[in-house]
Amino acid sequence: MLNIHFAPLQGYTENVYRKLHAEIFSGIDFYYTPFLRLEKNALRRRDALDLGTPGDCGESFCLVPQIIAANAEEFNRLVDFVCSKGFKRIDLNLGCPFPMQTKASRGAALLQKPEIIQEIMNEVARRSDVEFSVKMRVGMESSEEGLALLPILNEAKLSHVTMHPRLGIQQYKGLVDMDAFERFYAGCFQKLVYNGDIKTVEQLQELEAKFPKLCGVMIGRGLLANPCLAAEYKNGKAVSDDERLSLVLKMHSALLEKAKATLQGDCQVLTHVRSFWEYQEEYLPKKIFKRIMKSGNLKNYEEAVASLGH
């Protein structure tokens, strides 16, 4: 059975979300933080606060901080910070497609700079205090870019490589390139995790059968849409619509209370909690979903959410 890695999504899978998902649902082997980065030559304070420490998570799940860097110097600064918090695993992001990062030669853009990736892998080899993995795209502009990195990656000291078979220039549009993934899979000597457009248990089972060397699957939007997906796969049993809704409402209630306690005013709270529903549209009645997303104040919002239970 494949390990399930919960992909990090900025603005969605933050500390509170991760903890609540682990408490209420099951089936996740590894949770990842949204990437930590340097801005104006300093670590973003918001990233540092969201990271916390391994002890914050108890023993209920394995949390892996993710970092994004443009070069070995940035990489070492971020690794030093993460290690200072007591973490022993770090994931390097070589897949982010968003222009704010790629224009700074981070994320998927770094796939076009094998010499810098080699320098970073040299630093990986030098550090014995932490276990590293890499999350990458098949390329920035061409799938040949990712394939050309195999000699470097195959020699690197990595726990695994996560491959998302889209190009950086695609962002999240278009289809995943399974032909490119198969070529990468065939040439990759590292343990490999698949990432991209997984929404059903059937897809997980198909991947498991077709790619027997896979050690896991990373899922992001599919788990935001159906937080029960990993448990359904691991337990071999579908969760009923009523049970799913009950668990989702339980999680939302806790998120809402936390938002009320830490944020100020209806606007801040609504901006934060509405994102919880964005990927769940297909599981909700259309009229209620629209009411939730268009609610202009907390009273109307809470009434709309409450109507889901009737």
Tens of pLDDT, residue by residue over 211-260, are 999 999 999 999 999 999 999 999 999 999 999 999 999 999 999 999 99
DSSP secondary structure code for residue 97 in this structure: -
pLDDT at residue 182 greater than cutoff 90 = yes
Whole-number Å distance between alpha carbons of 151 and 147: 9
State mean pLDDT over 118-127.
97
Residue 9's pLDDT band (cuts 50, 70, 90): very high
Looking at the structure, do residues 225 and 257 belong to the same domain, yes or no? no
Last residue of a domain, one of 235, 268, 292: 235
SS3 139: strand
The tokens describing 236, both together, are 């071999």
Looking at the structure, do residues 257 and 213 belong to the same domain, yes or no? no
Looking at the structure, do residues 121 and 251 belong to the same domain, yes or no? no
Whole-number Å distance between alpha carbons of 32 and 13: 8
Which pLDDT does position 46 carry in this prediction? Answer: 86
Last residue of a domain, one of 209, 235, 261: 235
Cα dist. 242→189, 246, 293, 309 in Å?
A: 43, 6, 21, 9
Looking at the structure, do residues 76 and 91 belong to the same domain, yes or no? yes
- Identity of residue 70: A
Which pLDDT does position 56 carry in this prediction? Answer: 65
Looking at the structure, do residues 151 and 202 belong to the same domain, yes or no? yes
Last residue of a domain, one of 235, 269, 293: 235
pLDDT at residue 207 greater than cutoff 90 = yes
The tokens describing 26, both together, are 């099951």
**Strand partners of residue 167:** 139
State mean pLDDT over 121-126.
97
Tens of pLDDT, residue by residue over 51-99, are 877 866 666 679 999 999 999 999 999 999 999 999 999 999 999 999 9
Whole-number Å distance between alpha carbons of 236 and 231: 8
State mean pLDDT over 44-55.
83
Looking at the structure, do residues 94 and 210 belong to the same domain, yes or no? yes
Looking up residue 50, the CATH number of its domain turns out to be 3.20.20.70
pLDDT at residue 141 greater than cutoff 90 = yes
Looking at the structure, do residues 110 and 230 belong to the same domain, yes or no? yes
Whole-number Å distance between alpha carbons of 153 and 138: 13
The tokens describing 35, both together, are 């990437």
Of all residues in the chain, what percent carry a pLDDT higher than 70?
98
Which pLDDT does position 60 carry in this prediction? Answer: 60
Whole-number Å distance between alpha carbons of 136 and 131: 17
The tokens describing 59, both together, are 């023993």
SS3 167: strand
Which pLDDT does position 310 carry in this prediction? Answer: 67
**Torsion sign, CA atoms 228, 230, 235, 238:** positive
Looking at the structure, do residues 62 and 10 belong to the same domain, yes or no? yes
Domain count, the chain: 2
R_g (Cα) of the chain, nearest Å = 20
Looking at the structure, do residues 254 and 271 belong to the same domain, yes or no? yes
Which pLDDT does position 129 carry in this prediction? Answer: 87
Domain encompassing residue 87: 3-235
Looking at the structure, do residues 200 and 302 belong to the same domain, yes or no? no
**Strand partners of residue 217:** 4, 194
Looking at the structure, do residues 218 and 257 belong to the same domain, yes or no? no
Are 27 and 233 in contact by the 8 Å Cβ rule? The answer is: yes
Flag whether the pTM goes above 0.85: yes
Looking at the structure, do residues 204 and 281 belong to the same domain, yes or no? no
Whole-number Å distance between alpha carbons of 32 and 14: 9
Whole-number Å distance between alpha carbons of 83 and 124: 13
